[in-house]
Structure 1
């Protein structure tokens, strides 16, 4: 019975290969984009900051800063962008501005702090390795300093999220998986035709399919990482070119992120060593992949953007940072 079922399934799949491929590609694209199509029901629930059992409200000051950023970045429809209080230490975003649901930008509570008043940090409990951070200790003072950004740095961090969404970056990122799936299928068919395997044994078909699938997965990782780097750097450059204050704020923002990560590396012990490089970049080693654009590269790109542009190919040298 099982053999007959597999034979029938194999015949059915052969007849409907193109249909299944189209459905799979559309499904992948929709799954990757669902996070941005319904940001209120997915993204916000995941990143929302809570205080005393209730969703935290964004302060009037940060609401004003957010509106200033929208004006500075020349956003056409400000109603498409909404801000909320997010957990974490730096802004996050999701959504597609021209869709009915619009876009959401999450601003963390530490952005409510200033050099004069650090209440946005010390009023929140930060737990590392099961222990609350003592803001009066040497590590606590250093971490508090690394989490306190100037107005220019805050505006840059928010602006880069706005620029990321304004450039329809979520769409570009969502296209990678279905494009690689379709490319893998086409390459598999071409290889079989060139090698004359179409009428060949089932074992050779299986081996060819496995090799093609492995190659397709490898290509997916490479292209996805490359697209991520390109989109991150594009958003950084656009935010830095708003004004000189934004550019200076961008350098400060990444400098303090690197400083924060170095402090966390020490506080977290073995887990910190696995997560952060000595320079402060995320995940120093991950096989052949570079899952995150190095913060050192992003900072240097802002510094050099006024004088020269680095070729994207130089990104490979950031792997060791």
Structure 2
């Protein structure tokens, strides 16, 4: 057994550069897969269905989507397409400059207006195993939080367009292979510092474990920091297109915060674990930093409006 382990160690040491390149390339490819083929992966995951058939995006929302692309200065819309998704706010994947382009999912509640709530009230939403009663006080408050003005809808779509157009998916996918390469660098540097290149195998193994731990921490910190930077950058680009988009951004985050406060109340203990009293999201796990706070994203847009007004 020890002999096999020694042979494997020698093999890894001999071909470490090609193996490192192949590993980093494999991780990057895996992370980019559903962005390279969004139509057959991401869209299938988020596509809205009704009575066993995929929901077709309404003419109204298709028109809004095309208007956002026009406002963004995208002359050729062939690399961006929209579909009807489930959920309550737009989602997106893909890279516009690749052959498959980018896909943006727009939810059914974006069809709703204060005068016509059919995009919301004709859906059954289960919270803690119970269907939401839209006529109740809590249901009415949640319903109001799910209705967005045309300005807020445009902003919500525009921030996804901004994120995808700026290569957000590529940057996000590059974090893991970058940190994986960092593990090898940490390992080499630590062994060099402590003079362990020719030392006992046990000590070298311990150093490798330490390097792996540093790499894991680097991944979580870098991934979260990059995610927040992309979120703020996308908001700024979307809100910076016009005063109308900026107002829509403030409303959009106001509505999300209101919705999350209602969900916190309706979901009981689970809601308190997921949502802060302010409406922001709590971290998914201990090693993850806070999600980009909706309150600070809203404040960022307000600050941008003040700068433009000054």
**Superposition TM-score tier, normalisation by shorter sequence:** over 0.9
4+ runs of 1 displaced by more than 6 Å?
none
Alpha-carbon displacement from aligned partner over 1:86-130 (angstroms, at most 9, x marks no partner): 011100000000111111000000000011111111111111111
The answer for the alignment partner of 1:317 in structure 2 is none
Q: Distance in 1 between matches of 2:98 and 2:108?
A: 28
Residue 190 of structure 1 deviates from its aligned partner by: 1.6
Cα pair 2:283 2:291 within 8 Å, conserved:
no
* Cα offsets for 1:204-236 (capped at 9, x unmatched): 101111111111110111011000000011000
Aligned to 1:122: 121
Match of 2:245 in 1: 246
Q: Which residue in the other structure is 1:270 paired with?
A: 269
Return the alpha-carbon distance in structure 1 between the equivalents of residues 34 and 226 of structure 2: 18
Whether the 8 Å CA contact 1:25–1:179 is kept in 2: the answer is yes
What pairs with 1:125-274 in structure 2 (closer than 5 Å)? 125-274=124-273
Determine the structure 2 residue equivalent to 1:73.
72
Corresponding residue for residue 50 of structure 1: 49
**In structure 1, how many angstroms separate the alpha carbons of the residues matched to 2:111 and 2:188?**
56
* CA distance, structure 1, for counterparts of residue 60 and residue 232 of structure 2: 28
Aligned position for 1:86: 85
How far apart, in 2, do the equivalents of 1:295 and 1:69 lie?
A: 22
Q: Is the 8 A contact 1:147 1:256 kept in 2?
A: yes
**TM-score normalised by length of structure 1:** 0.93
Q: Distance in 2 between matches of 1:80 and 1:284?
A: 34
- SS class of match (1:104): strand
Give 1:308 shift: 5.4
Q: How far apart are 1:3 and its partner, in Å? A: 2.8
How many residues are aligned here? 308
1:64 alignment counterpart = 63
Looking at structure 1, the residues matched to 95 and 223 of structure 2 have their Cα atoms a distance apart, in angstroms, of 19
- Cα shift readout 1:143-168 (whole Å, capped 9, x = no counterpart): 11000000000000000000111101
Does structure 2 conserve the Cα–Cα contact (< 8 Å) formed by 1:276 and 1:284? Answer: no
Deviation at 1:187, TM superposition (A): 2.1
Contact 2:125 2:132 in 1 (8 A): yes
| Alpha-carbon distance in 2 for matches of 1:141, 1:290 | 33
Alignment partners' CA distance in 2, 1:286 and 1:180 = 20
The match for 2:97 is: 98
Alpha-carbon distance change, 183 to 159 in structure 1, aligned in 2, over 3 angstroms:
same
SS in 1 for 2:157: helix
Q: Where in structure 2 are the equivalents of 1:8-19 lying within 5 Å?
A: 8-19=7-18
Unaligned segments of structure 2, at least 5 residues: none
1:25 aligns with 2:19: no
Q: Which residue of 2 aligns with 1:313?
A: none
RMSD of the TM alignment (CA)?
1.4
Q: Which residue of 2 aligns with 1:314?
A: none
Q: Once the 2 structures are TM-superposed, how far is the Cα of residue 286 of structure 1 from its aligned partner?
A: 4.3
SS for the counterpart of 2:286 is: coil
- Determine the C-alpha separation between the residues in 1 that align with 2:284 and 2:98: 38
